[in-house]
Amino acid sequence: MLKEVIATRYIAPLREGGSLPGLVEADDLGTYVMKFTGAGQGRKTLVAEVICAELARRLGLRVPGLVTIGLDAVLGLGEPEQQVQDLLRSSGGTNLGMDFLSGALGFDPLAFEVSGEEAGRIVWFDALVNNVDRSWRNPNLLMSQGDLWLIDHGATMIWHHNWPGADASATRSYDASDHALARFRPDVAGAAADLAPRVTEELLAEVTAQVPDAWLVGEPGFDTPDDLRRAYARPLLARAAAVHERVTGIEEGT
Ligand SMILES: Nc1ncnc2c1ncn2[C@@H]1O[C@H](COP(=O)(O)OP(=O)(O)O)[C@@H](O)[C@H]1O
Ligand SMILES: [Mg+2]
């Protein structure tokens, strides 16, 4: 279970992204980047964020800590900006929060160096979850005190938008030619040798268990949240073994 906190103050919107995440303060006095159930794709985006971040964390990649944030929609009433007010008012209940990396810089592929080993691990992971949102135009990587952190996993696992086609969709290749780390000679095969055996049914059960029931209930074709959790685990388990052979568009390191 993710730690649960309650939002006490909306501080400011974070403008770079498309989904208008906000900076909020919570009842544990923590400051979090909050992603709202009422935004765009809503719950599915949040499910993807949790599964990918918790999987990445267990594979040794750096991701900010996650919490769930309870929101009382009345917190939106005082917001002067209409767009923010609408978002808060439509997001009562359970939302997602992540630790705010204060002072972090957006990753610039032309300004920072990354080892082929680290690049390989990240490209391999993105191929596994089919992340289409880590391009050099929009890396969704932060640099904090010399370390790379992965954020924004909302646009992954495209197959969860069409469950009947999920197994077929999960066999597709991953085009990494636009990937933010493509120029660092990512050692994808080396990463696969280390990481793929760690993506087990048990690990995926532990990862998917972190998703709050509130974001899983009512999905057409699934009777219970646990049925849907298993549906999320299946394509990842199937992809893990051989996805490195289906990464296209990069010159691999050795
Ligand atoms: N944990 C974090 N710590 C610091 N800044 C963050 C964090 N998460 C997001 N941001 C900032 O907010 C921006 C938008 O967040 P992101 O998760 O990419 O949302 P979107 O779906 O809108 O692209 C990021 O580009 C980054 O600048
Ligand atoms: Mg983003």
Return the biggest CA–CA distance within the chain.
56
Quote the pLDDT of residue 115. Answer: 97
Average pLDDT of the chain is 95
Q: How many CB atoms lie within 10 A of CB 206?
A: 14
How far apart CA 117 and CA 195 sit, in angstroms, is 12
Quote the pLDDT of residue 32. Answer: 98
Quote the pLDDT of residue 209. Answer: 98
- Whether 65 has a pLDDT exceeding 70, the answer reads yes
Q: Does the Cβ of 231 fall within 6 Å of ligand 1? A: no
- Whether 254 has a pLDDT exceeding 60, the answer reads no
Q: Where are the domains of the chain?
A: 3-99, 105-248
How far apart CA 221 and CA 17 sit, in angstroms, is 32
CB 4 within 8 A of CB 25: no
Give residue-wise pLDDT tens across range 24-50. Answer: 999 999 999 999 999 887 899 999 999
Give residue-wise pLDDT tens across range 126-141. Answer: 999 999 999 999 999 9
CB 123 within 8 A of CB 247: yes
* Percent of the residues in the chain that have a pLDDT greater than 90, as a whole number: 91
Ligand 1 centre to CA of 227 (Å) is 31
Quote the pLDDT of residue 95. Answer: 98
Mean pLDDT along residues 64-82? 93
CB 170 within 8 A of CB 160: no
Q: Does the Cβ of 238 fall within 6 Å of ligand 1? A: no
Ligand 1: which atom is nearest the Cα of residue 14? 12
Handedness of CA 92, 97, 103, 105 (dihedral sign): negative
How far apart CA 48 and CA 35 sit, in angstroms, is 12
Quote the pLDDT of residue 17. Answer: 66
Ligand 1, atom 7, residue with closest C-alpha: 100
The ligand that comes nearest to the alpha carbon of residue 135 is 2
